[in-house]
Structure 1
């Protein structure tokens, strides 16, 4: 068939367009190569389901402004395939839309398909329905597992290929990952684990995505898989093949929070130090885990005992605000790294020890300006060293970056950006909590307490996850016992009800009365429930409600970790007898009546009560209407006074709450965080003895402006909603400590302006932002100059120059540092 001239022109133009748009991704032992050019990649993790589509563009743009050139995410199997062969790619699970937002911002994407994620995500992202497949064993050389893993992974690859999102198609995806951190836990799987790793590599290659595949924490990753490092420090990591570049897929920017733990923090100085050391020692790609942590909306996003907040002390906080100084300090670090990119990826390396623990590294290449690092890995000893004819002061546990090997443009311990203190402000749209009018309704328990309404029966105490397949946190175990028949009781008798549970929470009812509840402390999911109870002669009804708070996410054979009252025993213990109910006929009911009726959707036919609002009453649903807070600042709900349960706004899940759970004081909390020395999550904590989580994120996209919004709570343990209110999160106080000759920008967020300048003082600062002590010399000249430059503006720049000293010139100062504090 002969082509017409017009058809031929179209074909040629199409081919040319494809060639122009196509991106070739390859690598060697130095770095990734994009279209044949070595590139330094600085990436950050943003998990699309832990935010909303409306938040994605802003989060990605702030990441780009912070100096990232790539965004990384896991793919969350259980969110996309909640039931076998039923798929969900809508709302905050719209993976394709998220990747396209990355592309629109001009950034690269790293897709960690897994499909096992870990990520402190329910079951590590693996669907619980896999447990019903006969012969299934997770993450090993098991055919049933490989069949399902292959089906889902292929589905994801086909989707991104169809949308032309892979780099060779002109898309942003430059790396893909198969499996995740398997090397950490593969030992107990033996040879089956080794065979599984080989199968993963072979399967990944068969998908022909056209970009490199990575395997993190997998020292035996077969070629051409690139094995990568995860951890707080990866400067000493070496790939298992000299032709693989040195990549760091998870630099933990902080740590996750559990219900029983205080808030962990990682200092900006230490995080920057870890990155600079990595690049000093021939690193080529670093990814911050997390750059934005977000929120565990719903029940399937948080793992065992993980809070609803997944803030992670990331550079962008849970709500998407810039966490200063971390965001700004890293931005300056990234700029310094990019200044010497060509030297890093092409230069020969020369190391020189300048003094004990102090090393200079020089990258030298023909025709390229050399780049240098000077690192001081001592934890306590600052150093002043001579290097190539100049002196440099390098504080302990820091790295200086000299892109031209002459001038220091960044030191990881010298923070020259603002610090922001975030504050919560009342809802100005109404007078809360007084304006909130509550209605309520009880969770229907009567059928369950009588042992009625079960879906099936069994003469065994069943494991909870395989029974519910994680369709609900809750599983009822119901039985009855005729004590007169068993042990001849003819009158009311006191006994002990003993229940051995693998948790996480248990509520026990006998003859329709709640006799007590208990939860597993400190993440120990095995406990013995014991309560005294009066039993009657004849038939006694026993109903046990077992609840989970997220499922196990990590470890060898983690899917075999049980939940619920599996196996028991469940016993009634008297003075001279024990009745073992473990082999009784048990009736089972999955979930709550309110869940099945979808009360959280506020259907008009649902009956609610407006009178005699009960408080401290377990198993109660509450509802109120409220006005959306004005402005653009992120919105939170203060649930102080509530116990444990779940919350919804306009039918959108805010996740679980457990406000009554206080953080432990183990390890202690402190105002000051020492950045020097190896970091661990207990090193720097705040919030000891306080509610594990008090404020819960309400994304603006969940709200309706100018009309009533509906809040619905299910209170499981008993709480008082009368103090609940909505607030906004904004920048309150901002501070900067500016060295002589340096320039620092001050800024508010979300359209706020700087309202006043509080402090302009020269000298070494004592105290911290918002709590500076009176020391040094106050400068009127600095005050008026900075007020004129900044007040009424959202942002301004301040240079610490001699003319700001004013009357402080004659003052006997030990330092000419300028301390500025302002209010947004």
Structure 2
């Protein structure tokens, strides 16, 4: 017994000593988060674990750390983890614990935004549709049923991370937790019930005893001890609602999401950097990029219904995990400068000087240490600012940072990082689309049209979400009627979107696609006697944001279905409707059924709705990310080796067709600024196939469910890699170029030291340049993985630009 007590005492001592070494105390004051007694600058980035794969996580986190981040933030996705009540999923890309441990292994902190409402352009905002089964249920308000379910899941997550010792006081990486999400933006219509709900959420969070601070973003009335935080493109003017709360920016939107009906949005690196520098200039101390890696909406996780499968978000790491240059590198340089100034920013005295014309000078002073920011908020006029006896050129809409208030180290508009131009490269495994040999089979619609086994019946047109609870995208509405003689009518159907297929007497007679409310009429011929009408309503992701958003209907939802011929109207709305949820192929899992004898390899049908296609292919060699080109297809879902790539819809083009064109980083960015590409083109054509979905050296299987009708003849596989790299540097600086993934520089396309014009891909020589620059650069760089060039006449030779012309070195190379 004495030996047992002695061993137990030793174990407790060891645990105590371990905690002294590893455990982290997290608190805050009005200036910053306090970690182990010291105020700290926190630079974080969002990486959503379900939008990538476990095999990708270490590399994404590593690149985030190399980019200067010290923290990784993520939402927790309730409907992914609890797809059915009390049935939990924490496997694969939903392995939250593994993801947080990967963050810990990398030596980074973590911010866990439990919510459990996420928004995130995620299906139903992350809240499970099965909650709609319960009468009287209301989301995100003082509704006891909702609070009970929310509390159950939130406690489950907190208990899980605590059990794994992942909270900072246990030696884990989690330094902040979040309850609710952006509720302040939409709480007005909830009235007093909304206010009571927020009070309850705060009290409940505290009751979990997690021993780290809790945040509530966009919640101006956040109860203490919640820290209210800011989301948006700019948060420099944000002030917390309590003097003891630090200024935290939970979402710095690095770009914007892709939508089916709009061109691709882009936020310039200069503007993101400007927003970050302004935030730290104005006493901000914790900021998080949303997104740092956006990733992919695999399966049926897209929200909206306007959100595409790609959630690239123009983030510093692109959808596939590649560095988006120059954004990644330009922000990395900024992070290094901010960290260098950390002590002054969190402990120093802060003073501002308004110099007029949008010029603001901020000084932080700590003992003999000083750090300065000079911001130019004017959107068109550059400025030269006098400070401490020096003159500093500050371009319009930029911030200059001087860590010692003397030496300019960084300006948000002056990019030194290289630019990477990504290309989609044909590979040896599949050089031509014709190399793919396709087989096919039809969705057994006839079986469903003729089968009398229904899920249920009703004498009204039911709303889709409360009928399917999102177990499937598809809901059948089926009825019959008698007609005394053959006649032509206009069939009029009102739906709330998103896609509708019309079958009359087992024949497809109409298809309508629209992301919003639609009312369609179609001429149909009804026969003498009994006629059968079947409608398939298809959703493309569920609403994810807004007050009472769960009440936004889908499907036909009580709207009239009529046959009209002048004054002769047959209203079918209140006839007996038979309902079936889903398709036969879903229930029988056709996407896993590779060897069925029902697959045919002759007379390949094209442009035929509700058709399955199958082919085999070899994994493209190398390690570069793999994508599939879906050009020529209509709408549907794709699988590789049984893994869903998500919904595809290349037939849906940018309908707004703009604004596209020249992108000026100056001035406040909005998602509608003309910083777009792809106007008038398919909203998404390329779909990510993670390497972990592929079998190297073995045959891989691609399955397509072509819902709308398309041709697989142009489908092919590509790899995403860096094609062209560019960089510029001013006199006195060092220009560095590098090829990623172990590649080397194969040729120099352009090199000029002088008055260079244009940009990457379109550089032009000016009126003066060094005659030696091209040869010097070629000798130093070709065949190398990276090279560095000192920008000086000693290295590059003389030019005849004269002292009045700002000259620089510009290089464009191929990897």
Fold in common (TM above 0.5) = yes
Match of 2:438 in 1: 438
Aligned residue for 1:646?
Answer: 637
Task: After TM superposition, give the deviation of residue 807 of structure 1 in Å.
Answer: 5.0
2:776–2:796 Cα contact (<8 Å) kept: no
* Residue 745 (structure 1) shift: 2.1
- Determine the C-alpha separation between the residues in 2 that align with 1:384 and 1:14: 59
* Cα deviations by residue, 1:387-437 (Å, 9 ceiling, x for unpaired): 111111111100011111110100000011111110011121233312100
Aligned equivalent of 2:754: 763
Is the CA contact 2:616–2:702 (under 8 Å) kept in the aligned structure 1? yes
Match of 1:487 in 2: none
Distance 2:163 2:530 in 1: 63
> Secondary structure of 1:584's match?
coil
Q: Cα deviations across residues 118-143 of structure 1 (Å, max 9, x unaligned)?
A: 00000000000000012110000000
Alignment partner, residue 821 of structure 1:
812
Aligned equivalent of 1:500, options 494, 503, 512 = 494
Query: Structure 1 residue 279: deviation in Å?
Result: 0.4
Question: Deviation of residue 810 (structure 1)?
Answer: 6.9
Among 747, 764, 785, which residue is 2:776 paired with? 785
Counterparts of 2:814 and 2:767 in 1: how far apart (Å)? Answer: 21
1:135-160 Cα shifts (integer Å, max 9, x gaps): 11000000000000000000000100
Q: Secondary structure at the match of 2:435?
A: coil
Q: Find the counterpart in structure 1 of residue 449 from structure 2.
A: 449
Is 1:161 matched up with 2:162?
Answer: yes
TM-score (norm 1): 0.97
Once the two structures are TM-superposed, the CA of residue 605 in structure 1 deviates from its matched residue by 3.3
SS of residue matched to 2:772: helix
Deviation at 1:5, TM superposition (A): 4.5
| Partner of residue 37, structure 1 | 38
User: What's the CA shift for 1:204?
Assistant: 0.1
Q: Which residue number corresponds to residue 379 of structure 2?
A: 379
Q: Distance in 1 between matches of 2:47 and 2:480?
A: 50
CA distance in 1, matches of 2:804, 2:31: 48
Superposition deviation, residue 452 in structure 1: 3.5
Pick aligned residue for 2:531 from 525, 540, 555: 540
- Asked whether the 8 Å contact 2:478–2:579 carries over to 1, the reply is yes
Residue 237 of structure 1 aligns to a residue in which SS? coil
Aligned to 1:113: 114
* Structure 2: distance between partners of 1:192 and 1:299: 32
Task: Return the alpha-carbon distance in structure 1 between the equivalents of residues 10 and 550 of structure 2.
Answer: 58
Alignment correspondent of 2:600: 609
Shift of the 463–799 alpha-carbon distance from structure 1 to 2, 3 Å rule, reads same
Structure-2 change in CA distance of 1:629 and 1:780 (3 Å)? farther
User: Where does the alignment leave 5 or more consecutive residues of structure 1 unmatched?
Assistant: 485-489
The answer to whether residue 224 in structure 2 is matched with residue 238 in structure 1 is no
- Aligned residue in 2 for 1:468: 468
- The aligned residue for residue 428 of structure 2 is 428
SS at match of 2:322: coil
CA separation of 1:765 and 1:782: change in aligned 2, threshold 3 A: closer
Deviation string 1:652-677 (CA, Å, 9 cap, x unpaired) is 0000000011112444211x310000
Give secondary structure in 1 for the equivalent of 2:788: strand
For these two proteins, the number of residue pairs brought into alignment is 813
The residue aligned with 1:200 is 201
Do 1:762 and 1:776's aligned partners in 2 also have CA atoms closer than 8 Å? Answer: no
Aligned equivalents of 1:408 and 1:507: distance in 2? 63
Query: 1:6 Cα shift?
Result: 4.8
In structure 2, distance between residues paired with 1:689 and 1:328: 31
Distance 1:735 1:480, change over 3 A: same
Partner Cα distance (2:541, 2:246) in 1: 37
1:795, CA displacement in angstroms?
Answer: 2.1
* CA–CA separation in structure 2 for the residues paired with 1:205 and 1:794: 52
Correspondence for 1:714:
705
Do the aligned partners of residues 451 and 21 (structure 1) sit closer, same or farther apart at CA in structure 2, a change above 3 Å counting? same
After superposition, the C-alpha distances for 1:200-229 in whole angstroms (9 at most, x for unaligned) are 000000001110000000000000000000
Equivalent residue, structure 1, for 2:28: 27
Please say if residues 768 and 800 of structure 2, whose CA atoms lie closer than 8 Å, have aligned partners that are also in contact. Answer: no
Structure 2: state its 5+ residue gaps: none
Per-residue Cα deviation, 1:279-301 (whole angstroms, up to 9, x for no partner): 00000111000000000100024
Residues 519 and 301 (structure 1), Cα distance of their counterparts in 2 relative to 1, 3 Å cut: closer
Partner in structure 2 of residue 252 of structure 1? 253
What SS does the corresponding residue of 2:433 show, helix, strand or coil? coil
Q: CA separation in 1, counterparts of 2:237 and 2:426? A: 48
1:201-240 pair list within 5 angstroms: 201-240=202-241
The aligned residue for residue 131 of structure 1 is 132
Q: Distance in 1 between matches of 2:788 and 2:693?
A: 36
CA distance in 1, matches of 2:680, 2:801: 48
**Rounded Cα–Cα distance in structure 2 between residues aligned with 1:793 and 1:800:** 19
CA gap of 1:774–1:596, structure 2 versus 1, over 3 A, is same
Residue 768 (structure 1) shift: 2.2
TM-score between both structures, scaled by the size of structure 2: 0.98
Report the Cα distance in structure 2 between the residues aligned to 1:343 and 1:80, rounded to whole angstroms. 43
Contact 2:261 2:656 in 1 (8 A): no
Contact 2:125 2:303 (C-alpha < 8 Å) held by counterparts: no
Preserved contact between residue 755 and residue 765 of structure 2 (Cα < 8 Å)? no
> Aligned-pair distance for 1:772?
1.8
| Cα shift at 1:575 | 2.9
C-alpha distance after superposition, 1:303-327 (max 9, x if no partner): 3121010000000000000001100
1:686 is aligned to 677
**3-state SS, counterpart of residue 434 of structure 2:** coil
Which residue in 2 is equivalent to 1:92? 93
In the other structure, the counterpart of 2:665 is 675
1:516 Cα deviation from its structure 2 partner = 1.1
Look up the match of 2:265. 264
User: 1:809 offset after TM fit, Å?
Assistant: 4.3
Given candidates 701, 712, 729, the residue that maps to 1:738 is 729
Q: Does 1:528 align with 2:529?
A: no
CA contact (8 A) 1:72 1:109 kept: yes
**1-structure distance, mates of 2:90, 2:476:** 32
What SS class does the counterpart of residue 810 from structure 2 fall into?
strand
Look up the match of 2:508: 514
User: Hey, what's the Cα distance between the residues in 1 that align with 2:801 and 2:409?
Assistant: 30
1:451–1:541 contact (8 Å) kept in structure 2: no
The 1:798/1:528 distance shift into structure 2, 3 A limit, reads: same
Offset at residue 777 of structure 1 (A): 4.3
- Residues 343, 364 of structure 1: 8 Å contact kept: yes
Report the equivalent of 1:313. Answer: 314
Q: Deviations over 1:240-296 (max 9, x none)?
A: 000000000000000001100000000000000000000000001110000000001
1:606 Cα deviation after fit: 5.3
Query: Hey, what's the Cα distance between the residues in 2 that align with 1:430 and 1:666?
Result: 33
Q: Distance in 1 between matches of 2:6 and 2:555?
A: 72
2: CA distance, partners of 1:452 / 1:425: 51
CA distance in 2, matches of 1:14, 1:413: 50
- Contact 2:122 / 2:544 at 8 angstroms: preserved in 1? yes
> 3-state DSSP class of the match of 1:808?
coil
Instruction: Tell whether 2:619 aligns with 1:619.
Output: no
Structure 1 vs Structure 2 CA RMSD: 1.4
